[in-house]
Structures are given as structure tokens and as C-alpha cells.
Amino acid sequence: MVRALDRKMLRDLRRVWAQALAIAAVLACGILMMVGMSMTRATLGGTQAAYYERARFADVFASLTRAPASLVAGAQALDGVAQAEGRIGFQAVLDLAGQEAPASARIVSLPATGAVLNLPVLRRGRLPDPLQPDEVAINEPFGEANGLQPGTRFRAVLNGRLRELIVTGWVLSPEFVYTIAPGAMMPDDRRYGVVWMGQAAAEASMDMGGAVNEIALRLTRGADERAVIAALDRLIDPYGGTGAYGRDRQMSHAFLEGEMSQLTVMATTIPPIFLLVAAFLVNMVLGRLIKMERTQIGLLKAIGYGSAGIAWHYLKLALLIGVTGVGLGVLAGQWIGSGLIAQYQQYFRFPVYLRDPATGAMLLAGGLGLATAALGGLQAVRASVRLPPAEAMSPPAPPAFSRGWLDRAVSALRVRQTSMMILRSILRWPGRAAITLFGVMTSVALLVASYFMIDSVQIMADTLFTQSNRQQVTLVLSRAQPERAVLDALGLPGVRQAEGAFSMPVRLVHGHRERLTAVSAHVEGETLARLLDDSGQDVPLPAEGLVLPERLAAALDVAVGDSLRLEMLAAPRAVLDLPVARIIAQGMGQEAHIAAAPLFAAMGVAPQVNRIHLLADPEALPALTSAIKSVPAVAGLTDWHEVRRQFDATLQTSMVTMLTLQTIIGLMTAVGVVYNAARIQVSERSHELASLRVLGFTRGEVGFVLVGEIMLLTLLAIPLGWALGYGLAAGLVGAMSSDLISIPFVITRRTYAMAALAVFAASLGAVLLVRRRLDRVDLAMALKARE
């Protein structure tokens, strides 16, 4: 049987259902962000952990020039190593039927007895027969994108020799969950893949019989990774080791970890803002309801209801709002999470996704949502239970007004009477105005923090594709060549300009800090691939010293003028002590930069190149790319037009979706705040507004009092929201940047304008919706009201 107070609660809920629903929607926004992002993060993390364990993903990786296969046994004997495996790996150019431009691939050898680490998971067909040197398996995304079904043949240039290979199956590997070409920014499954071939075939292709050039290790539980890496470096150093590294530097794993870190940031930084706004709204609505029912509370106390029972009655109403918001948020969060997981399946290729509903996150979100609603109503409830019955049944004392300096300043403005009412209402009820101001300000800030990503990405794209990289094609050479290779490249079809580049793996050491990276040598006067900072300014290379990106400098804890030890990890393996000449902001890539002349002088060799940038006639590009297929020295190719197309397509599918979601959430916050504020205004000032109508004011003038106050607060909140959004965006840049990608912090005036216009329009729509209620106010009843 429903108790009397419960029936009253349901009647109260019917009276404020629209306001309660608006508050629940704001609360749901915070819950859905927490649940949706946590669910996606948990699914990616759980799938990653299970896949890594099942496929025995290595913990430490190392590349070297050439070492006897017996060296693997030495690596196996190192303290902390559970398993070790050696193999052959190299880059190759592929000639695929029906594709004008050459594709490239990473070739990986498969031991005849089967891999013990980084196990390829067969998805279709079979693994290559070790006795058939022309049989290979390819990674599934590459096979799907190019229609390379088992049994299909394609040609490849392996160590300068053209070979025809036969696809036997499709596989996936924990090493290539995120498959990206060296120097690329995102996957391109049509032009870059992974090819597994038998160990004997790989040895024959690279003239490496009985040798390996890559070693992978799996560590024992509790092993010291840094100690193992140091020991492995000592072991492989005589064989041209380029520096062992852990999973954190493995490309696929680093991208996956970076994405999961961003999801964690989104799940933990944004929801508290919505919960805080919801708490204020609950307090505002419940406080108004209790104020209206002051006499009823006195009667309830007079007939025997205790303060605790009355307090619980109103808290149940707040909790009911909380339950509604939590329910909506959890359902929406699960839906959003499912959509994000489906989107991630296009980029992170696991054999199967182990969906995790993030039960713990849902329970935490539910608890926080209910706590938010309860705490929001607690202050209002405390005010109700403190009143003695006799005082509660009496009308409240009218508010005491006095003319302070603000009132005199407002009067001096000599504005219209309705405008004067707006200004005085804000000054006399600053708490209510502050809640509205805070809510609208938060909405603007959320939109600024969302839209600034468009600015940052556009700046990054313009720097990369228009200013820094002006070439159309970049050739990656299989090994360093003398500078005359650049002159040879000028002889390719349609080439108008060719420019060489050189980079090599290095270890940078500063005190106890060190970093494996690469150093790029820049020649004076380069015009195709220029070194620019994030502002698009040319970075002049000093005569001596290094130029470092900000994040690399921070990782090494160096400043301009500090000395760095540069250990070359390729011949001649020299060690240099160089000053840090400059630190720059750089979005993509975290390698060091140096002038070419002093680097080659220190190496004691003539200038070399291992990349060649080409500028060609557009109509000659098909002939150029076709000719490159037969150049033995080329191990890979970057088509910058295709890179830009892939970049834009990825943004279209991922960023637009996320920005749409965040826009909806931000506008829902503004609507919820403004709608509640306007409804409370109508409720509290119905007597005052009805009096204006009786005194001869038109409906438009009376409506102006309501609309004008809310929109004035909205206009005041917009610049405050800009400032808060600036700070929030700056925090997100720091939290979401990684060693691979450093997001430039850029907010344009367009972003501020878009955020302001969107929130202003949403606020105006919400207040006009409430404005219609004024036309239905019964003047007689409003004038008879005791308030």
C-alpha cells in the first residue's frame, strides 16, 4: 500500500516532471561519458591482455645488422628471460595486380618448427610450407583491402631481386594490431602490409644463411626489464645492435596504449563537470519546491510526522531524479561504447573482441550519480527540517531589500523599467544567478574543449601536408646510398626535383635518462621536406648542436645549452657529446634534428641518403610509380597524396562522430540549466509578472523580463566559458599527447564563436519554451497567491 508521503512525492514529481527530466538528462551526460569511455577502455584492455597472453607477445625487441643464429641461445640464457626467438625481418616493395602505385610490406620469417613468440593467428587458409620458398601468409587487413585471397600470386622485390609469391593464408599478429608503415601517420591497408615467409626462404632472399637480424624476448614474472634490455644491448652490440626496447616503444602497442590512455582521460575528467552541474540543479529545484510547500511541511509536523521522515520524503524525490539520470546514462553509455568499439575494430585488429560491460565503472557511475542527487538536495532538505511547525505554517518573512551602491549604480543607468527589474533580480538573488552562470559557462567550456581539436588537427595537417612536406613521393631506400642516388632519381619519369634525406637510430643520454630515437640530418637549403615548428616557422639548423621536440626534451630533462650524449646505433657507431641548441614544438614525430655537415663529419663518411623526396609532374605520377616498382634500391614508398586522403578519411569517420557526441552533450547541459532556471523564475515571480500584466504591460514586455534575465546571464557566461574552455583544452592537450603524437594547442576565433553561438541558440530555445507558459498563467490565481 502506498503511503501518504509517497503519494505526495509522486504528485510533486508530476508537477516538476519537466525540470526533473532536464536535470536527469544533465546527470545522464556525465554518466554516459563515464560508462561509454570506461566500457570501450575495458574492452580494448581486456582484449589486448588476453590476446597478448594467448599469442605470447614478446616483452623486449631488438634489431641488429647480422648475427649468428646461435646468439639467440645467449639471449635465452640472460637473467630474467623466459623465452627468446630470432628471425629475419626487412622491408620490401610489392607489385600488386590492378594497383598502379607500388605497395610495401614488412617481411617476417617463420621458423620451420613454428614460432614460439608473437604467434600468428590463422584467419583463413594455411601457413606457408617451409619447403615451398614462394609461399607466404599475409596479414588479414592487407588481404581484405587488396583482394589477395589464398592462392593469389603477387610480385615482390626482395633484396633487389624480383620474386613471385603465392598467398597461402591470412593471419593476425599481436605485433601488428595497429599496422602502420615506417614514417606514416596512420594505417593504409591497401599500400602497406605484413608478409610471413619461411625461415629458409627469408635467409635465401637476404643472403643470411644461419643468421638473424631481429631478436624478441619474453620475460619471467617479476624480471627487471631495464636490466634485461641493458644485458641484451651488450650482447648484440658487436653485431650492429640498434638498441633493445620494451613494449612501450613497440609501434603497435604504443598506439594502442595511447588510445586507451585518451579514453581514460575522457572517462575521468569530463564526467565530474556534469555531476557538479546536476548537483546545483537538484539543489535549486528541490529548494524551490520546499519553499513552495513550507505550509504543508508545517502541517505534516503538526500532525506527527518527524523531521527525519519529511527529510527522507524529499531526499527520495532527489534520488528518484538520480535514478532516472543514472538509468538513462548507463543505457546511453552502453550504446555509445558499442559504437566506439565498432569504430575501433576498423583500426585495431584483434582476432576477436572480448566485450567488457565495465560493470565496476557502471556501479561507480551509479553510486556517484545517486550521491550527486542526494548531496544536491541535502542543503535544501536541511532547511526544511529545521523549521518548527508554527513557523513553517506561517508565511515566510518578505525578503529585506536595501538600496546599496549596486542599486544606485543600476538606477544611474536610467534603463527601462523591465530592464531595471532584470538587473535587480540578478543582484538580489545572486546564488540563483550564479548557478545559471556556472551551468552555461560549463557548456561553453565543453564545446570549446571539443572544437579546439578541429583547429589543432587542421594546423597539424597544414604543417605536414602543405608547408613541411611539399614532395609528392618519398622513396625509402633499403640501405644508405651516396648522394649521387639523388641525381639518379632525377632520371625517373616526370621528376622535376629530388632531395635527399638521412636519418639513423641513436640513443640520447642525459644523466640517468636515456631515449631510443632517431636523428635526422638536414642539408642547408632543403625545400621539399622542411623542418618547421607547430606555428609553421622554419627552424634553422645550428652549425653544431641538436634541435629537439618539446616532449623529447622533457623526457630527457634537458634545456637549451645542456649537453647530450648521442650514441649512434648504426655504423660507425660513434659517440658524440652535443649541446642542445634549440627546443621546438612539433606535433608529429619525436626525433632529434641536426645539420648534415657536422653529422657526416663526425661519422667520418661522405654525405649519404636513405630517403629521397621527389616532386614530379602530376600527369607523370602513374609512370613514376610504375617505374619505382623495378628499382632494386627502393624498399618502400610514401605517396603523400594518398597519405592526405587517408588522413582526411580517418578524421571524417572518427573525429566527426566524437565531436557530434560532445556537441550534443554540451548543448544538453545548457538546455537543462537554462530550462530549470526559467521554470523557477516563472514559478517564483508569477505574482510579480501577473501584476505587470494588470498594470498594462504587454505580453512581450512581461516575457522580456523572463527571457532578458536568462539571456543576459548567458551572455555574461560566454566569455567565462571561453576562459574555462581554454584551461580545459590545455589540460586535455597535456593528457592526450604521447611520444608518438603531440597535439598542438591552437584555439581559433572560429572555435570560440561556434561554441558561443551554439550555446546561445540552445539557451534561447530553452527559455522561449518556458516563455510560452507565461501566456497560460491565470492572472487571478497568480495575484491571489500568497507569495
Dump pLDDT digits (tens) for 564-608.
Answer: 999 888 888 888 889 998 888 776 667 899 988 888 888 888 889
Max mean pLDDT among 561-575, 703-717, 736-750 falls in 561-575
- The predicted model gives 708-722 an average pLDDT of 88
Look at residue 83 in the predicted model and tell me its pLDDT.
94
Look at residue 412 in the predicted model and tell me its pLDDT.
59
Question: Does residue 743 come out as left (phi exceeding 0), alpha (psi in the -120 to 50 range) or beta?
Answer: beta
Q: For the chain, what is the radius of gyration of the CA atoms?
A: 34
Max mean pLDDT among 462-476, 548-562, 578-592, 634-648 falls in 548-562
Question: Shortest CA distance to 610 belongs to which of 465, 486, 740?
Answer: 486
Look at residue 747 in the predicted model and tell me its pLDDT.
85
DSSP 466-518: IIIB--SEEEEEEEEEETHHHHHHTTSTTEEEEEEEEEEEEEEEETTEEEEEE
Question: Shortest CA distance to 691 belongs to which of 424, 294, 427, 418?
Answer: 418
Give 407-438 pLDDT, tens digit per residue.
566 565 566 666 667 777 777 777 778 878 88
Parallel, antiparallel, or unpaired for β 60-68 and 211-219? antiparallel
Look at residue 82 in the predicted model and tell me its pLDDT.
94
**Order of strands across the sheet with 81-87?**
81-87, 211-219, 60-68, 245-246
Least confident of 59-63, 339-343, 685-689, 730-734: 685-689
Look at residue 619 in the predicted model and tell me its pLDDT.
83
166 pLDDT band, cuts 50/70/90, is very high
Look at residue 786 in the predicted model and tell me its pLDDT.
46
Higher pLDDT, 378 or 15: 378
Confidence (pTM): 0.81
- The predicted model gives 692-715 an average pLDDT of 73
Look at residue 11 in the predicted model and tell me its pLDDT.
76
**Residue 621 C-beta-side C-alpha neighbours within 13 Å:** 18
- The predicted model gives 141-159 an average pLDDT of 91
Give 750-775 pLDDT, tens digit per residue.
889 989 998 888 888 888 877 776 65
Look at residue 45 in the predicted model and tell me its pLDDT.
94
Look at residue 41 in the predicted model and tell me its pLDDT.
94
Is the predicted pLDDT of residue 395 greater than 70, yes or no? Answer: no
Look at residue 392 in the predicted model and tell me its pLDDT.
55
Give whole-number Cα distances, 15 to 18, 23, 434, in Å: 8, 14, 25
Is the predicted pLDDT of residue 397 greater than 60, yes or no? Answer: no
What is the torsional sign of CA 726, 728, 731, 733?
A: negative
Q: How many CB atoms are located within 10 Å of the residue 552 CB?
A: 21
Look at residue 704 in the predicted model and tell me its pLDDT.
73
Q: How many CB atoms are located within 10 Å of the residue 5 CB?
A: 16
Is the predicted pLDDT of residue 480 greater than 50, yes or no? Answer: yes
Look at residue 477 in the predicted model and tell me its pLDDT.
86
Look at residue 66 in the predicted model and tell me its pLDDT.
92
Q: How many CB atoms are located within 10 Å of the residue 124 CB?
A: 15
The CATH class given to the 495-616 domain equals mainly beta
Look at residue 787 in the predicted model and tell me its pLDDT.
44
Q: What is the mean pLDDT of the chain?
A: 83
**Domain extents in the chain:** 1-56+258-396, 57-257, 429-470+641-787, 495-616
Under a CB-based contact definition with an 8 Å cutoff, are residues 614 and 474 in contact? yes
Is the predicted pLDDT of residue 645 greater than 50, yes or no? Answer: yes
Look at residue 622 in the predicted model and tell me its pLDDT.
82
Under a CB-based contact definition with an 8 Å cutoff, are residues 217 and 60 in contact? yes
Is the predicted pLDDT of residue 738 greater than 70, yes or no? Answer: no
Under a CB-based contact definition with an 8 Å cutoff, are residues 278 and 374 in contact? no
Look at residue 186 in the predicted model and tell me its pLDDT.
76
- The predicted model gives 492-518 an average pLDDT of 89
61 pLDDT band, cuts 50/70/90, is very high
394 pLDDT band, cuts 50/70/90, is low
Give 70-112 pLDDT, tens digit per residue.
999 999 999 999 999 999 999 888 888 877 778 889 999 999 8
- The predicted model gives 535-558 an average pLDDT of 84
Is the predicted pLDDT of residue 2 greater than 70, yes or no? Answer: no
Give 20-29 pLDDT, tens digit per residue.
888 888 889 8
What is the torsional sign of CA 569, 575, 576, 582?
A: positive
CA distance linking residue 113 with residue 108, whole number of Å: 15
Look at residue 427 in the predicted model and tell me its pLDDT.
72
Look at residue 775 in the predicted model and tell me its pLDDT.
59
CA distance linking residue 503 with residue 610, whole number of Å: 7
Contacts of 401 (CB under 8 A, 6+ apart): 428
Look at residue 777 in the predicted model and tell me its pLDDT.
55
DSSP3 helix / strand / coil % (the chain, rounded to 5): 55, 20, 25
CA distance linking residue 10 with residue 8, whole number of Å: 5
Look at residue 59 in the predicted model and tell me its pLDDT.
95
- The predicted model gives 345-367 an average pLDDT of 91
Max mean pLDDT among 58-67, 445-454, 526-535, 732-741 falls in 58-67
Question: Shortest CA distance to 105 belongs to which of 553, 494, 525, 476?
Answer: 476
Is the predicted pLDDT of residue 279 greater than 90, yes or no? Answer: no
Phi, psi of 65, rounded to the nearest 5 degrees: -75, -55
Give 196-246 pLDDT, tens digit per residue.
999 999 999 888 988 999 999 999 998 999 999 999 999 998 998 888 999
Look at residue 698 in the predicted model and tell me its pLDDT.
65
Is the predicted pLDDT of residue 1 greater than 50, yes or no? Answer: no
Burial call 311-320: b when 16+ CB within 10 Å, e when fewer: bebbbbbbbb
Residue carrying C-alpha cell 598502379: 100
